[in-house]
Amino acid sequence: MSEILVVGSVAYDTISTPNGKVEKTLGGSANYFSLASSLYSKVNVVGVVGDDYNIDDLEMLKSRKVCVEGLQQMPGKTFHWEGKYEFDMNEAITIETQLNVFESFDPTLPDGYKNSDYVFLANIDPNLQLNVLEQIKEPRLVGADTMNFWISSKKDSLKEVLKKVDVLLINEGEARDLTGNWNTIAAAREICAMGPKGVVIKRGEYGFVMYADGQYFILPAFPVETVIDPTGAGDTFAGGFFGYLAKTKEGFSFSHLKQACIHGCLLASFTVEGFGVESIKSVSWTDVEKRMSNYYKVIAYNS
């Protein structure tokens, strides 16, 4: 079985949306990614938590084929993000960020993780992303995410990361900041010129734009009538994306990336139906297959 490595944040989030509010619910890029990709393959997670991390949350990850050997525990509190969404559910408004133990995060891979076939560098300091890449032996495919903060503060390091990854998965705002181009189609091409073989630009409720091999692939999101909380949808997309590639043991090709995008899109649609990871953690493979069937009906043009 192909193994997936994810390096990212493990957090407790406080989230407000027009549909309610939750206090310190389980979140973080590594958790969203792991819960999605574990539906497809074994997942090795690298992150850091404080001594306040709930043992039940750890056991929940283990129950989903997630190896937590690389999850460091340090004295102090787990990373905490507080944010809110108003009626534009595509844009999060950050109220407070408490890095806590995440501030001194130094990702060290257990020996068993160094041979992971698929690697996803979630949204962390690009210098740490480079550090992880130095520890990996011969990955089949490497992907990365980033955010506006790193684009503005550590762009040179980020550009070094882009030279070493196969695919970048970011949102529209990040694509604009990275390229200075407000045209998403043009921005995708410019990002690939920086090094990645492909780029997926996530567009929230409007779906995604994927560019690779000189070709575009664009689809809408799965229609969800009531979006409860969009937090983590992008990381879940990445989990479905890499999960599909790992399950099928495929590398980089345009046709395989198209299918990976569809799976990412579907997994993200589950996440937004609940606060934090509450929805995605209970999704089964049967649920995925059923939603896949419904999604094909949405995007069909010849029937």
Domain of 240: which CATH number?
Answer: 3.40.1190.20
The predicted structure's pLDDT at residue 106: 95
Q: What is the pLDDT along the chain (303 residues), one digit of tens a residue?
A: 799 999 999 999 999 999 999 999 999 999 999 999 999 999 999 999 999 999 999 999 999 989 999 999 999 999 999 999 998 888 899 999 999 999 999 999 999 999 999 999 999 999 999 999 999 999 999 999 999 999 999 999 999 999 999 999 999 999 999 999 999 999 999 999 999 999 999 999 999 999 999 999 999 999 999 999 999 999 999 999 999 999 998 878 999 999 999 999 999 999 999 999 999 999 999 999 999 999 999 999 876
The rounded distance, in Å, linking the Cα atoms of 201 and 118 is 20
The rounded distance, in Å, linking the Cα atoms of 77 and 51 is 6
198-202 and 208-212 strand pairing: antiparallel
Dmax of the chain from CA atoms? 58
The predicted structure's pLDDT at residue 3: 95
79-84 and 93-98 strand pairing: antiparallel
Its pTM stands at 0.97
The rounded distance, in Å, linking the Cα atoms of 254 and 260 is 10
The tens digit of pLDDT for each residue in 92-129 reads 999 999 999 999 999 999 999 999 999 999 999 999 99
The predicted structure's pLDDT at residue 112: 95
Task: Say how many domains are in the chain.
Answer: 1
Label residue 129 exposed, middle or buried (CB < 10 Å: 0-12, 13-18, 19+): buried
The tens digit of pLDDT for each residue in 32-48 reads 999 999 999 999 999 99
Instruction: Write out the DSSP string of 214-273.
Output: TEEEEEPPP--S-----TTHHHHHHHHHHHHHHHHT--S-HHHHHHHHHHHHHHHHHHTT
The predicted structure's pLDDT at residue 141: 96
118-121 and 141-144 strand pairing: parallel
Domain around 30:
3-299
